[in-house]
Structure 1
């Protein structure tokens, strides 16, 4: 029996892609009878006391609240809290066998260190994105000159923390091949310690709608049947390319009067409102929605847009494809597995002399106009992308690869690689 203990922090990304990853992974893993799963949600503000909930057979959720007087950025308090988490898990760990600790974010590092001190069980870390991407908005040039191994500022310390966590892990999982190359070249992680396992989704949870059902759902959600719904789903933040999207959309609105942009998610909404004063009536903000409500919007969407400046593997992209929505994507490394013109329309990336990433809003506008005005093209792109999704991104394949990795780690756990620790600030 494999006992998988997955750690889930209160990081904002857990409400979006990382949270979806955990749901998809656990849902598919449970199809294997020889695995038991505990999802440990720590710093959970929804709970005041330690709580264990049974979600399904062999599937448990452990909720650990945030201390009342918590100084999250104080390393001494982080260590105390990590010890408390490990103490609360002690009985569960002692009662089970074949344990794997599964980490997802740099906030997990203090807990990882305590667990490694107390147990010899394997630890894996999944890299959902790199910290430098978030810190520098995808600008690789800003990595030059950083002293990551001896950090002297918050930026260097954040990247060092990520590197330390991956170096201390028994195995590292990346979700695309470019991430693996970066880990080898920049973080000096041995190739044998890295596996590339693509994100997957349960495609059967998503449905394509016919024209009559789409009209019915549009009316139910308050939209006119003639409107072309352009859908964005994710964090409404600059790194998601939201500013380029809104600029392109407002240009397209000057040419076509049946376009509506729907933005699902939370973030820098005021910045967007300042950009679209002429077209307030053409943009809908839904805020944060449940997965079931998001699926209703997928069913009415005519075009999906994922205009990210960086993106290792967007779950909203996979879900839109599974829902039969034709996509406009930015030409970045995380989307390079798709074919131009056959499976999506790409917006080319432009890198300035200083390394900043830009997209041409005229090119973006033309893509919107092209897809919204050509139903045959939209249908062809959506169908081709769907077939490709079946081959590359099924949750069952992701779970199969992860099960194989878990079993190999349990059977052939290697001695820890020697690692020179750097003192915390």
Structure 2
């Protein structure tokens, strides 16, 4: 059997610091303990040269960004990327070269790699630009696909063209992996991609949970200046429209009318100004922490009472399974990957996505009611939390992901 050499591609972008970054960290952590050799290649980095570092037992290769104004110029860039990698790509009869791509809408890169190397290419879909642009509105996407070019708006044309580029990229790859079922189902509805080369491998996390006793939790709460009797509602994620932060603040203000001893902590960076304005009347009960280290977020998971993921669209929902891991009862938007992760009223509570003023949003009235239910019924909240923790261990713990990825690599 041939050896496997995997080159994990990512883009040096904001997303690399969030879900995709977590995914790659989890992937590399288990590959270091396997017989598969690997490097990480970052495209669109800063600087003007190729930068190579060796740390943590593997190489990281950073290729600088370039400005291009046409498809032709983009083709030159990705052709040059393939040439630049010559020095680092191993080509031998006893080694299977595997390129593992973690971004969409780039068939030109796949073509350049295929022309230059004897390789197999895996494409993992963590997100698509068009789904975020449409806030996960699949019905709108299907309408755009069916509409004539003349009837499409400029925004619709952009979404449609990005979808077509994604489909071209999938067709060129040897394996197409989705992190959630809804993503694959959408692609199958709008294209004729080969179903046999597609599969679903859910994201997963290493189990970092350690249960604290009452004294330990009290000490940790004191560190964060949280009184023992105060209930903490926790959000973790980018402060973007698609994450539903504004409806969460509206829901929190509604809950405050009947539950005065609560505190909302919002972890993440983004556009603060409109949210600060939204939270003005109850600003002493809401904390914006900015982006935090993994250790500090873990501390907040340990002292929180309820986790909320009110996303209007979520490709998968890594934060939700992280909250389940830490035995938090979770309330989520009934959308995308979150709909697949959470069993309503069993492992968490779901809130419907609605259309308001021709725009998708999460119902803040229902969101406030679901959070209030968990605040009022501690036994029910504890049952939800226990079920969520069990679901995490059975479906989303890292060893399951590890076995599926190793099987995938070894099948090529």
- Fold agreement, TM-score > 0.5: yes
Distance in 2, matches of 1:61 and 1:402, equals 20
User: Which residues in structure 2 correspond to 1:307-326 (within 5 Å)?
Assistant: 307-326=310-329
Distance in 1, matches of 2:372 and 2:249, equals 14
Tell me how far 1:305 sits from its aligned partner.
0.4
1:171 and 2:170 aligned: no
**Counterpart for residue 133 of structure 1:** 131
**Counterpart for residue 420 of structure 1:** none
Structure 1 gaps, min length 5: 410-425
1:83 and 2:57 aligned: no
Tell me how far 1:148 sits from its aligned partner.
10
User: Which residues in structure 2 correspond to 1:253-332 (within 5 Å)?
Assistant: 253-332=256-335
Tell me how far 1:155 sits from its aligned partner.
2.9
Equivalenced residue count is 401
Match among 241, 246, 254 for residue 251 of structure 1 = 254
**Counterpart for residue 5 of structure 2:** 3
Structure 2 gaps, min length 5: none
**Counterpart for residue 418 of structure 1:** none
SS at match of 1:98: strand
SS at match of 1:346: strand
**Counterpart for residue 416 of structure 1:** none
1:136-158 deviations in Å (ceiling 9; x for gaps):
11222332134799998433322
1:42 and 2:46 aligned: no
**Counterpart for residue 233 of structure 2:** 230
1:383 and 2:386 aligned: yes
Tell me how far 1:328 sits from its aligned partner.
0.7
User: Which residues in structure 2 correspond to 1:73-222 (within 5 Å)?
Assistant: 74-94=70-90, 97-106=95-104, 108-143=106-141, 144-146=143-145, 153-203=157-207, 205-222=208-225
User: Residues 353 and 255 (structure 1 numbering): CA distance in 2 closer, same or farther, change over 3 Å?
Assistant: closer
User: Residues 206 and 50 (structure 1 numbering): CA distance in 2 closer, same or farther, change over 3 Å?
Assistant: farther
SS at match of 1:202: coil
CA contact (8 A) 1:7 1:108 kept: no
Tell me how far 1:117 sits from its aligned partner.
1.2
CA contact (8 A) 1:25 1:395 kept: no
1:61 and 2:60 aligned: yes
TM-score, normalised relative to structure 2: 0.90
SS at match of 2:112: helix
SS at match of 1:106: coil
1:52 and 2:48 aligned: no
TM-score, normalised relative to structure 1: 0.87
Distance in 2, matches of 1:352 and 1:325, equals 30
Tell me how far 1:313 sits from its aligned partner.
1.4
CA contact (8 A) 1:148 1:156 kept: no
Tell me how far 1:323 sits from its aligned partner.
1.3
Distance in 2, matches of 1:54 and 1:88, equals 18
Distance in 2, matches of 1:366 and 1:278, equals 20
Distance in 2, matches of 1:108 and 1:130, equals 11
User: Residues 166 and 95 (structure 1 numbering): CA distance in 2 closer, same or farther, change over 3 Å?
Assistant: closer
Tell me how far 1:39 sits from its aligned partner.
1.0
User: Residues 376 and 125 (structure 1 numbering): CA distance in 2 closer, same or farther, change over 3 Å?
Assistant: same
CA contact (8 A) 1:148 1:159 kept: no
1:145-175 deviations in Å (ceiling 9; x for gaps):
3479999843332222222211211110012
1:343 and 2:343 aligned: no
Q: CA RMSD in A?
A: 2.4
SS at match of 2:238: coil
Distance in 2, matches of 1:235 and 1:2, equals 36
1:350-394 deviations in Å (ceiling 9; x for gaps):
35796x434332221122222123322222111111111111112
Q: Which has the higher contact order (CA 8 A, sep 6+)?
A: 1
CA contact (8 A) 1:128 1:312 kept: yes
Distance in 2, matches of 1:145 and 1:391, equals 39
Distance in 1, matches of 2:336 and 2:41, equals 32
CA contact (8 A) 1:206 1:319 kept: no
Distance in 2, matches of 1:91 and 1:147, equals 46
SS at match of 1:217: helix
